[in-house]
Amino acid sequence: MGYLRLGETIDATKNIIVTFYVESEVSLTEVAESLAAESSIGTWTDISTMREDIMNRLGARIFYVNQEESVIKIAYPLELFEERNLPQLLSDVAGNVFGMKDIKNLRVRDIDFPESYVRKFDGPAFGLTGIRKFLGISDRPLLGTIIKPKVGLSADEHALVAYEAWLGGVDIVKDDENLSDQDFNPFDERLYKTLKVKEKVEKETGEKKMYVPNITAPVSKMLDRAKLAKSTGCGVVMLDIITVGWSGVQFIRDQNLGLVLHGHRAMHGAFTHGNRHGVAMLPLAKIARLAGIDQLHTGTVVGKMHGAAETVIETNNALKGDWYGIKPTMPIASGGLHPGHIEALVNILGNDIIMNFGGGIHGHPDGTYKGARAARQAIDAVMEGILLPEYAKTHKELDNALLQWGYRKSSDSESKVANTYQFNFT
C-alpha cells in the first residue's frame, strides 16, 4: 500500500496540496514515500493495524515528481485536517518530516487550499480596503515608521518621536518587535501618551493617523493589552506572529474586538531564509491571511532583508488576490529602507503597500520630522511621476536624505542617480 500515485488525477476541491523541494541521498521517489507516510497516516514500517480502507481514504498521494528540480507534490485528503486548526495543519505537513534522517534538505514551497477549507476561516476583519478606509487614503502607498532606537526610549520620548514623525507626514507609527512592557517604557503608559499626541497631530494636520502598539506576550496578557487598546480607541495592535504562534494569532482574531491586526514576522528567517530548507514565506503568508492578519511584513527587495523580487511579488499577490471571500491582507515593506528606495518600491511592488522606515526616517541628518517629510516628499514625487533627484531640487528635506544615503553624490550638480540604486523594473 504505497503512497506513490504518479499521473493520478487529483481533485483539488477535496485535498490540500503541498509543494516540497527535497534533497536526499536516497532516491527522490523513495524519500517521497517516507515523507508522505510520516505526514499523513504511516510510520517507518509495515503495521498490522493499517487497513486498506484507511489507506484509500486518508493516505497522502504523491502525484508529481520532478527529478531534475527535486520537487514533489503531495495531496492530503481534507478529512485529515481539523477545521480552523492551523497548528494541526502545520504539524501534519511541516512537522516530523523535517527531522527524518533520509532528508538532507526539505522546503515547503507552497500550500494550496481548497475552497471548503478556506471558507471556514474569518480571515482579516478589515483587510487592505478597510485599512485604506481607516486612514482615508485611497491610492498612494501608506507611509509608516518604526520608533527607533528599538528599545531604550521612555514613554515620553517615544511619544515625542511619534509626534514628530506624524507631523512630518507619516501615516502609521508602530512599536518595534521587541518593545513590549519593559520597566523603562511600560505598555500602558506608552499607549496613553502616544495616543494623546496622535489626537493632537490629527487636529494639527487634518490627517488620520494610526498607532500600532505591540501586544506580543503570553496569550492572557495579549488579550488584556488588546482590550486596553480597544478601550482607548487605538484601533490597531501588532503581533509577532511567529513567536506568538498561530494559536495566539487565531485567539486574538476570534475575540472580534474590531482591531486591525498588524503581523510582524520576527523569526521568520529561521524558516524562510534561502531556498533549499524550511518553509517559504508564501505559505506562511497564506496562513497569516487565513488567521486574520490585516497587514503583514513580506519583504522589501531593495532593503536590508532577504527576499528576491520574484518571491516578494508572489507573496504579495497571494495576500491581495481574490480568495473565496477572504479579505485581502495589505503587504508591508520594512527593513533598511530610506526615501531613495521609494521609486523602486513602487515600481516593483505597486501602490497597495505600507512602506515602513526606521533608520531611513530617524537617521535623517536633520532629525525625525525632516526625515518624515523627506519620505512623504518621495512618495509625492513618485505619485506625480517626477524623478526623485528632480523633485529634490525644490524639496530640501528629500535632497538631504538622498545625499545622506548615497542616492546621489554631493559633487553631482545635476543630481543624477548613483549606479548603486539603478534597477531594472521589467
Q: What gap in Å lies between CA 407 and CA 404, rounded to an integer?
A: 8
CB 120 within 8 A of CB 83: yes
Could you please report the per-residue DSSP string of 333-402?
Answer: EESS--GGGHHHHHHHH-SSSEEEESHHHHTSTT-HHHHHHHHHHHHHHHHTT--HHHHHTT-HHHHHHH
Closest CA to 307 of 276, 277, 269, 279: 269
Question: Annotated catalytic residue: which of 73, 148, 262, 341?
Answer: 148
Angle between helices 219-231 and 246-254 (to 10 degrees): 40
Closest CA to 142 of 171, 175, 174, 173: 171
What's the burial of 405, exposed, middle or buried (CB within 10 Å: 0-12/13-18/19+)?
buried
| Beta bridge pairs of residue 354 | 142, 332
Could you please report the per-residue DSSP string of 301-345?
Answer: SSSSS---HHHHHHHHHHHHS--TTPPPPEEEEESS--GGGHHHH
Q: What gap in Å lies between CA 321 and CA 330, rounded to an integer?
A: 10
Active site residue 268: no
Q: What gap in Å lies between CA 254 and CA 69, rounded to an integer?
A: 41
Question: Annotated catalytic residue: which of 174, 264, 341, 362?
Answer: 264
Tell me the helix, strand and coil percentages in the chain, rounded to 5. 40, 15, 40
Q: What gap in Å lies between CA 392 and CA 385, rounded to an integer?
A: 13
> How many angstroms from the chain centroid is the CA of residue 374?
25
User: How many residues make up the chain in this entry?
Assistant: 426
Q: What gap in Å lies between CA 61 and CA 375, rounded to an integer?
A: 51
Q: Where are the alpha helices (DSSP H) in 94-205?
A: 115-118, 127-135, 155-167, 187-205
> CA 365, 368, 372, 373: dihedral to nearest 10 degrees?
-60
Active site residue 370: no
Residues designated as active site? 148, 264
